[in-house]
Structure 1
Amino acid sequence: MKEALFALNHMCAPYRSISEFFDLAVSLGMKGVEIRNDLEGNAILDGTSPASVRSEAAARGLRILSINALQRFNDWNDTREEEARTLIAYARDCGAEALVLVPVNDGTGTADGERQANLRTALKGLRPLLEDAGIIGLVEPLGFETCSLRLKSEAVEAIASLDAAGTFRLVHDTFHHTLSGEESFHVAETGLVHISGVVDKALSVPDMRDGHRVLVDKHDRLDNVGQISALFTEGFQGLFSFEPFADSVHTSDDLHRDLEESMKHLRANALPPPAQGEKRNGISP
């Protein structure tokens, strides 16, 4: 795997400014970044204009892959619609290609029938807003038992039922894929992959949480190497975005080195990309 296949989510370095975060991505040879709307004291929450973010990225030759994220997207109501309009407008104006859509994760809306209906309602509401702005909606199922959308298969079914594959894609998150227990990868519908590892041997899978998510190394319990290899084998041609939530990553004395080591591990152990010209799916590198 080459660095061009990797991207960086601002959650890797939440205490760095948007400029410092972009510089980190460039220093690692990356071309894609994900910005977030949940980092206090940082863009977007600090009032940084989308034009400024766009300019900073363009000056470094970076693509803004997504804004992460519209939370509780499948609890569609007037408040959610207004949040969506605001984020989609910001995404359009800063040059972001997509908006990540995160489902309700508090134990509500999980009943069979209810969750599918709520998902379709949300997708119907979001579709015209995304299409008008030329933004892709990246649906990210969460594997937690409390989540109202755990399975990628349910998202695929809902998107297909609305004939909306041109508007919505999936995020394959290696952490959430493990927690969900889902075996299918749905590569044809996947637009982006989030990668992180868990190394704590004392944790059971159901007890794994965001705070346990570190950079991927040889001690990884999520089989990132196996997942990435399977994605390649099934024809995925997209970007693998580092998204660790652990404080130990955020406060590292040498995050650049740590990320380089993780990339080195994945390059050495995951299958190589297909031959030049072979078609794959996803957001292209």
Structure 2
Amino acid sequence: MPALTFALNHMTAPALTLDAFFALAVSLGMTSVEVRNDLDGNAILDGTTPSEVKSLAERHGVTIISINALQRFNEWTPARAAEAKELIDYASACGARALVLVPKNDGTGQAEGERQANLRESLTALKPLLEAAGIIGLVEPLGFEICSLRSKREAADAMKAVGGEQTFRLVHDTFHHHLAGEPDLFAELTGLVHISGVEDPAVAVSDMRDGHRVLVGPQDRLGNTNQIKALLSAGYTGPLSFEPFSPAVHDVADPKAAVAQSVSYIRETV
């Protein structure tokens, strides 16, 4: 089985400046990071230029494996096209390897036929933009029942239908994989794995939300370590990126110790 490689998503410690976040990753022995465009008062929303982000990453010796994310990517409009171009240009200029693509998650666009057509339209439009910039598009199905793209198989089929096997990759998110209830892994098409756990014993799977997502530990209900084992056995060799959304994680006094404890648990269990 290949060695485990961990990465850090800025959502793990969203209050940290980008400089402090990169330093945290390095202190944990991680050289891969995900930068977000949805954190108020932080890059990218605070106006930090891509060249500043690139120089910070170089100074810390980290690789930006993704900008997270282009939201509602499978609802292609002129505004979405402009937003995509802007984010892809930013990703390219700051040295990021990929852009995460998140589907609309509001109960619309779910109809059979409609959602597949919307997905292919968006991938077709994104493909030349990503290829021109040398950026990978990371398609992330969400397991929520109201999401317009829950199935990795549907995403994989669409990627192949538009000839995008070299341009697009799947995100396997352990939280969303559990919620979607889709057994297939598609390790050969997976470019990134997001990891987080849910420990609250009272919440039903259908009621699990981002706020329940904590670091992976012994009380995890999502079967993270089994998912990771299965992905590695199927040939996945990329990073496992921590992406907890819970305020309980964001408020910890010592994020380094908290993440290190989760890393140790995963290493011992996988």
RMSD of equivalent CA atoms: 1.1
Map 1:154-233 onto structure 2 (within 5 A).
Answer: 154-233=154-233
- Unpaired runs of 5+ in structure 1? 271-285
Over residues 60-92 of structure 1, what are the superposed CA-to-partner deviations in whole Å (9 max), with x where a residue is unaligned?
110000000000000001000000000000000
- Partners of 2:111 and 2:32 in 1: CA distance: 37
Match of 1:275 in 2: none
Match of 1:239 in 2: 239
Instruction: Provide the secondary structure at the position in 2 that maps to 1:30.
Output: coil
TM-score (norm 1): 0.93
Given that 2:171 and 2:191 are in contact with CA atoms closer than 8 Å, whether structure 1 keeps it comes out as: yes
Instruction: Provide the secondary structure at the position in 1 that maps to 2:166.
Output: coil
Given that 2:11 and 2:244 are in contact with CA atoms closer than 8 Å, whether structure 1 keeps it comes out as: yes
Match of 2:96 in 1: 96
Match of 1:81 in 2: 81
Match of 1:279 in 2: none
Match of 1:127 in 2: 127
The list of structure 1 runs, each at least 4 consecutive aligned residues, that deviate by more than 4 angstroms after superposition, is 1-4
| CA displacement at 1:4 relative to structure 2 | 6.6
| CA displacement at 1:187 relative to structure 2 | 0.4
- Partners of 1:16 and 1:3 in 2: CA distance: 29
- Unpaired runs of 5+ in structure 2? none
- Partners of 1:20 and 1:41 in 2: CA distance: 14
Given that 1:10 and 1:35 are in contact with CA atoms closer than 8 Å, whether structure 2 keeps it comes out as: yes
Match of 1:5 in 2: 5
Instruction: Provide the secondary structure at the position in 1 that maps to 2:16.
Output: coil
| CA displacement at 1:2 relative to structure 2 | 9.7
- Partners of 2:76 and 2:127 in 1: CA distance: 12
- Partners of 1:218 and 1:27 in 2: CA distance: 24
1:26 aligns with 2:26: yes
Match of 2:143 in 1: 143
Instruction: Provide the secondary structure at the position in 2 that maps to 1:117.
Output: helix
- Partners of 1:33 and 1:14 in 2: CA distance: 13
- Partners of 1:77 and 1:236 in 2: CA distance: 34
Matching residue's letter, 2:243: E
- Partners of 1:264 and 1:159 in 2: CA distance: 35
Match of 2:264 in 1: 264
Percent of paired sites with the same residue: 60
Match of 2:16 in 1: 16
- Partners of 1:162 and 1:87 in 2: CA distance: 21
- Partners of 2:191 and 2:260 in 1: CA distance: 24
Map 1:108-119 onto structure 2 (within 5 A).
Answer: 108-119=108-119
| CA displacement at 1:244 relative to structure 2 | 0.1
Match of 1:255 in 2: 255
- Partners of 1:251 and 1:201 in 2: CA distance: 21
- Partners of 2:23 and 2:31 in 1: CA distance: 11
Instruction: Provide the secondary structure at the position in 2 that maps to 1:66.
Output: strand
Given that 1:3 and 1:29 are in contact with CA atoms closer than 8 Å, whether structure 2 keeps it comes out as: no
| CA displacement at 1:162 relative to structure 2 | 1.3
Seen in structure 2, the aligned counterparts of structure 1 residues 63 and 2 have a Cα distance that, compared at 3 Å, is farther
Over residues 240-262 of structure 1, what are the superposed CA-to-partner deviations in whole Å (9 max), with x where a residue is unaligned?
00000000100101111110000
Match of 2:49 in 1: 49
Over residues 15-37 of structure 1, what are the superposed CA-to-partner deviations in whole Å (9 max), with x where a residue is unaligned?
00000000000000001000000
Instruction: Provide the secondary structure at the position in 1 that maps to 2:105.
Output: coil
- Count of matched residue positions in the alignment of Structure 1 and Structure 2: 270
Seen in structure 2, the aligned counterparts of structure 1 residues 188 and 3 have a Cα distance that, compared at 3 Å, is closer
Over residues 197-234 of structure 1, what are the superposed CA-to-partner deviations in whole Å (9 max), with x where a residue is unaligned?
00000011000000000000000000000000000111
- Partners of 1:58 and 1:2 in 2: CA distance: 27
- Partners of 1:144 and 1:211 in 2: CA distance: 13
